[in-house]
Structures are given as structure tokens and as C-alpha cells.
Structure 1
Amino acid sequence: MQTKPENDTDLRLKVNSETARLPWSELEKHFAQGNVVWVANELDLVEVAVRISHDDKPTIVQWMADCKVAKVSDQQASSWQAADASLWAVVVSPFILVQEEKPTRH
């Protein structure tokens, strides 16, 4: 029996606790293996991780169609390397989801 994502508090807490800021340099080897996935800032990184954990294909396909979730491009990787960027990251095996730091509102 599959739990409903809305009631998946334990998984959300687990994913949230496993989310960390990492320098791009620590993610490059995973990028080289094709396992790093970019998540647009308008999406919640934890929510995306939970949806992928549940294999919610319709939602994931829609996000990909809307260019909100995608494998990290060579251009993104180069710019993060040049900027010595630090990204929010969480593992949803075999992938590492990454998201740039959201701009703070003043």
C-alpha cells in the first residue's frame, strides 16, 4: 500500500534533514556520471525529492516539460565551477538534486 504524498511527513522530514549546501567541486564527479539533476528555484527541493522517491512520473514529466527539472547542462556546470558556487543538494538515489540558493527578500 502506497502512502499519499500529502501524508508523507516522515519522508519529508528525512529528506529535509539530508539536504545540505555543497560546493560544486564536490558534485562534479557525480555530474560527470550524469547523476546531477537541477531543480528550478520556484520548486521546493524537498517536494521534488519526495515526488521522485514516490516515482510520481506524471508530475516529474510535467516539470521536465516546463524546464523546471533537468539534468545539469555543461553550461551550468561550467558557470558553477567558475563561480565556485555552493548549491543546495539532496540525494535521491541514484540522483543528486541540486538547486541554487534562492534570492533573499528584503
Structure 2
Amino acid sequence: PDTLPLIPDRGFTGTSHNWCEAFPSYSRTYDMVHADRLLLLETSQQPKCTMLDLFLEIDRLLRPEGWAVFRDTPTAIESARVLATRLKWDARIIDIEANSDEK
């Protein structure tokens, strides 16, 4: 379901974006990026866009000590954790539901 309209009601800014292109914003603007199924969606639909490309753009947008929160499949999350560690990010995996196939 499209929950994007609910985001402004909670005081956040929400947007849909093609992360294989630069996000139209100044560097170091945001405290947090939250993405649901972004990792598989962007990398599977557009092979020219790698997970590294996604992470470099997110890194450009986040302030120091900012947060990137991903909700995706365990395989995609594990790949993201490995890449985040290579980028010197503090990477943590939290299992949100014991019976779920998401992390």
C-alpha cells in the first residue's frame, strides 16, 4: 500500500525517487534516510545502478552521525551490511519480526 501520504502528517518529509540519479538537494542536509525495499528494487530494475551507487548518494545527503534505515529481504540487508562496513558506517541488523522474512 502507498503510505507516502501519511508521512507529512507525522512531521516527516517523504518522497519517491529514482536513487540511480542524484537527489536534488544540498549535501549533508538530512539526519535520516528510511527506505523500504529500496535495495532490491533499485538494483534489480536498473542494472546500471549498484548498491554502492545508492550508498554513495545516501552518504552525500546524510549529515555526520546521520542514520540510514533499510527494510528489505535478509539477503539484501546482509549485502548492505557488508558494503556499509566497507564505507566505515556503523552497521547493525535488527530482526523486526521473528516470523518475518524481512530484516
Structure whose residues are more often helix by fraction: 1
Larger relative CO (CA 8 A, sep 6+): 1 or 2?
A: 1
TM range, smaller chain? under 0.3
